[in-house]
Structure formats: C-alpha cells, structure tokens
Chain A
Amino acid sequence: MTDPGPSPPPEQAAETGTLAARIALKQRAGGIVVPIFTVIFALVMSGIVVAATQHSVHTALLVYKEIFDGAGLNWIFHPTTSLLDINAYNLSQTLLQTSTLILTGLSVAFAFRCGMFNIGGQGQYFVGLIVANWLGVNFAGMNPFAHILLCIVAGTLAAAAYAGIAGVLKATVGAHEVISTIMLNWIAFWLASWLFGDGGPLQNSTQPTVPVSNQVSPGARLPDFWGVQGFQGVHIGLFIALAAVVVFWVLLNRTTVGYEVRAVGFNPDAAAYGGISVKKNFIRAMAISGAFAGLAGAIDMLGGTTNYQFGQLDVPFSQVGFIGIAVALLGRNTAVGTLFGALLFGGLLYGSFHGLGSSSVIDPQLAGNLTYIIQGLIVLFIGADVLILYVWNSRKKLRRPPAKPAKPAEATAA
C-alpha cells in the first residue's frame, strides 16, 4: 500500500504524524487483528459453554475437531478428487455453503461501503429465490443456457429493485435503511410463505397438501462440476460467487461507480463537494447490494442447494441472509475478507451440522445451536472493536515508549 514517494518515507510519516494518523495506523492494524481476535474469542467462549454443560474440557476440544473434520478440512491431509472419499465430499458441501455466503456477505459489505446497513439480505435472498423458482419451473422448453441466464438475471434484478425501495426511501424521505430493510425482510418472509404454502401461487401442482414448490425444470439447473451421481455436487454457482468477489472488487476499486460509493461512504459532505450526488448513490448502492443477495437466492434455487424447490417450512429455517451480516463484518467489508469470512462460516455451518450431527461427541441436535452461539458472539464482538483494540494496544504500550504529542495545528482546528 505504500509508495516510495519523494520526501520522507510514509512509514516514518505515520510514526511522527498527527494523532489522527496514528489512530488510523492502529485501525489498519486492527483490520487484521480484530477479526482474528474476535473469532478466537467467540470459539473460546462457546467452548466454555460446551465444557461447562458437558462437564468436560476434552469434549469441547473434540467438538472443534469434529467441526473441523466435518467441514472436510482434513481433506488437505489426504487430497483426492473422488467424492466417494468422505473428506472430499464434506469439503464439497462446505464449498456449496460458502458460495451462498460469499454472495450474501458481499451484499451486506457493499451497502456498508456506501455507509449503509443493509440488514435486509434475507428478504432480498428470498426475492431472488422466488423469481428464479418461478421462471425456472416455467419456460421448460427453453435453451438451457438462455433459461439459466434468464432466471439468474431476473432474480438478481428483482432483488435489486426490492432493496432499492429502501434506498429510495432513504434518499427521498430520509427513512432509516435499517428499519425499512427489516420490514422488507418480513414482507418477503411472509410473501415466500404464502407463495410456496398451501394454495399459494407457486405451490407444486401434483401434491396439493404439501406446501412446497415445483422443482426447477432440468434445463434451468446449474451444472455440477464436481459431483457424483445421486449426491449433491458442487455446481458452477461457486464460480459465479467467486466471480462476484472479483466484480465486487473491480466495481469498487476500478470504476467511477465504486469511487462514488466509497466517497459517499467515507464522507458524504466531501462527496457532495466533489460533485457527487449522495442521494443517487444511496439508491444505487442499495440496489447493487440487493443484487448480490438476489443472486445468492437464484443460484441456490438453480443449483439444487434446496433440491431445486422451496417449501413454506424452509422459510423460517433459511438464515443465509442474516449470516451474511456476520460474514461481511468479519471480512471488514472487503472482497477478500468476505471470501474468508464466508469460508469460515461455510465450514462452521456444514461442519457442525455434519461433523457433530454424525458423531456422538455431544447431542447432535446441539450442533446447529452452537453455530448460532458462535455467530452471535462474533457479531457482538466484531462491533466492539474498541474493546479488542484496547486489549491489542495495551499489549503494545508495554513495549513502546509513550508517543510524542500531536502536531500543533490539528488540535486547534476546532
């Protein structure tokens, strides 16, 4: 990040610079420290819960080993591409989970970069999922490529428009996006329950008593690139998600749209002074944010993560949109950070579901709840970077002489 410019080298400048500069330096250090600390902290605390309730520290350690194995991460010790290998299969499932979380994480992260909190990823995910299901079930005779493209694009755009409502409300009447996206979440929740439910418009045509949708027609399904017959394979949605990471990065850092988003996110006053329309950016950033979540819904539907269909009873158990919040926060709202955050949560979700679910270390039913606890702790502590930086900095203080006072001019600016 540094450039060997003229005059004093940047490092030195940061050392001797203003108070603001030093705080920024610490925060950039915190950029890596806070997420790592937070994860360790959350794992230790939930470990304590397990150790206390199971009366054994050993059990707590075993739990984490099972999650690790269950996520297929021990695959690296015996790599194989054969999905008949249990580790390889587990890893493939972790990757599936990760693809979705990358997208819902990017959704939250993008809005954050424009200074907004899109808490409505779950609702936007439902919208993408609903539209993809509707179009994927119909138009069965279409060219597969065109059909897939139609479903994905339509799902993405619908979710963008849906999220855009919150952006428009913020830009025009100043309604706080947190409140409007919460409301939009629950509207989508009940909309999905109604559409897929008993007598709902998208309910399946063969079993009128089962509140589940039709399956997406075979032509509209995303092909697997790593899978075996009869099992859920890894579909190309993973590549779509990885591409989205690249798009996210490029959009933010290599386009004028991204420049505006970042300027508005960091300092709306300066952005307006620079000639950027702040309102337009609120709407646009919210729509783009929604697009990522909608894309997640669409590829989950077309990729078979939910068996190419969705049911009324699946609605309350779908949490990927909310987990996206944790993913983005943990990834510090950057493209690469979100990728790692998604990988962590993907492993955690599948690993605890599968690893603990199929072993007898603890009651298998505890597994999913443990994930929620870890997730809650991560979100709670990631927001409190003051606390973690305090711990981090007091460690530094022990080693360093006290810093010099700040430059004169800055302090009197007020």
Chain B
Amino acid sequence: MSTIATTRPVFPFAAVVGQDEAKLALLIAAVDSSVGGVLIFGDRGTGKSTAVRGLAALLPRMRAIEGCRYACDPARRSTWCPDCLAAHGPMPPKTTMLPVPVVDLPLGATEDRVVGALDLEKALAQGVKAFEPGLLARANRGFLYIDEANLLEDHLVDLLLDVAASGENVVEREGLSIRHPARFVLIGSGNPEEGELRPQLLDRFGLSVEVSTPGDLPTRIEVVRRRDAFERDPVGFEASWKKSSDRLRRSIAAARGRLNDIVVPDAALERAATLCIRLGTDGLRGELTLIRAARAVAALDGEAAVGDAQLRRIAQPALRHRLRRNPLDEASGGTRVARAVDEVFAA
C-alpha cells in the first residue's frame, strides 16, 4: 500500500551454530508437515527466530494454481479453495512455482488482519463487498511463525488453534461469509521467563524444543564471529554458505520424495508404544507424532526404515510436552523422557 522496507538477507539456516534439536525439528516439519507445529522455547539471545527465519530461505519452491490467493495445490483438488473449485473444471489449471510462505504473525496484529476481512479500500471507494485475505490465507501450505508466542493475545490464540486444527478458516464478519483452506505448520518461540504458554496451545505443537545459550567458549565465539561476519557483509556471507544451504535444500527435497517409502517396522511401533505407556502420555497423539517424526528423520538420514536411532533422536522433542503435567516441575519433561528412553531402549 505504501513503502515496503527492502527485505534484508536472512542469516542462513546452515550457518546457525549448535541448536541441533531445534534445527532437526524444523527440518522434520519441512519434510513432513503432518508432524504438527514446532515450539521453540529458551533463553534470550539464542537465535530462536534466526533459525526459523533462515528456514524460509531453505525451503524448495512449491507448485501452486496460478492466480489463486491461497496458493492452492494443483495436485490435490480436495484441498482447493471455493474460487479454484468454481474456476477450474476437469482440465488441469495453469500452475506456477512459488516460494513456500513463512508468515510472521507480528505482535499487535489485529484480528481482521489475521483472519482476513472486508477490503476497506474497495468498500469505501467502490461500494464493493470484497474479501481481503489475511495472514492465515497467506500461510496456507506453509508456516506461520509467532515469535513470543506466550505474549500473544488470548483471543488470537483461540482463533489460531481453531484454524490450525481444522485446516480451514471460516470468516463470518462484515456481511462476508467466506471459507478458505488454511493448512499451515505453526511455529512458536518464546522465553519461559516471560510466562508459560497456555496448556491448550502447548498440546497443539507436534514437537517441543528447548534451546539454551551455549555454555562453552569456542561455540560462543563461533556464534559471535558468524554473526559479525553476517552483519558486515550479509550478501557475501550468504554466498559463502550457499553450498551448505543448497545441500540442505536438496536433502529436504530428497527426504520428501522418500518419505512414503520409509518402512515403519512393527518393532519400532512397539518401541514407541512402550515409551508412551511408560511415560503415561495422554491419547495417541504422542505415539503418532513420535512415529511420524522418526520417519522424517529416517528420510533425512537416507535410511530405508525407522529404527531405534531415529526414535531416540526425536523422543524428547516429540514427547516432553505431552507428559501429564506437574506445573511446578520445570523442564523435568525432558529428563523424564530421557530416563524412559534409556529404560525402554536398554531392554
């Protein structure tokens, strides 16, 4: 509408030092969006948002129906928006390649911009009732990122949960009645010192990652050096990491291709079930996420089947937030999972 700040080059995902668990969780979400969202909680100044923003530049482009405001997937008619269904008959629609959206939900966003609302300009100038899609529409088939998720207004959280669960955004306001697909992977980050996340929101994330400031000097120095190098010459820095970034991008694409061929042997299912029973997680979502995430890890690793190694790697982020909570037991989730993993996998 008016000036748009030029987008600065982003710090490359591949250049993020350490934070292995967070990076793995984001890659899993990039490979298999059905794993559910990723929650990254941790100390100040650990570069939580750096990793997320870096992911955007890493994702392979996606094919979308040309001109569709929701970037509908031409291959999956069942997920099309009403506009596409109406416009395209049995003939395959024209398509275009688009970057996968990684949409920031900034603090202070108002509800009308999140869900979409009446296009004020058209309404005022032409008296036309038109729908202006919001952030949920823009995030369709991509990622919705909330930094400081624990500071988001409650009514927006409710709204997001509802849409994230149904994959559809229903707008009933200002005489508009619109529904459109809104399938996205929710990524939240925050600092636990600013307050805990509402338990309802916590459950909705597939993977929960805890990050902390690196404690050893060499790692800390490397973080600062890379940051400094990036700030002095963002373009040059990006270029110097291009090879690693390309390699990572290719491995995401390859893992996606392999995903459906990964075998999940009964033994792995049993391991997952035993682990969840041992931990007393509620419902089946834990097991499902554990298996799906392990499958994505196997795909990334180039393995043919899910084995103990993958389950072990992903058990903590998949389960630590699903334990029956003792609200006063801080961070004990991870320790409990680690203990259970050791017991189950030793057997």
A and B form one complex: no
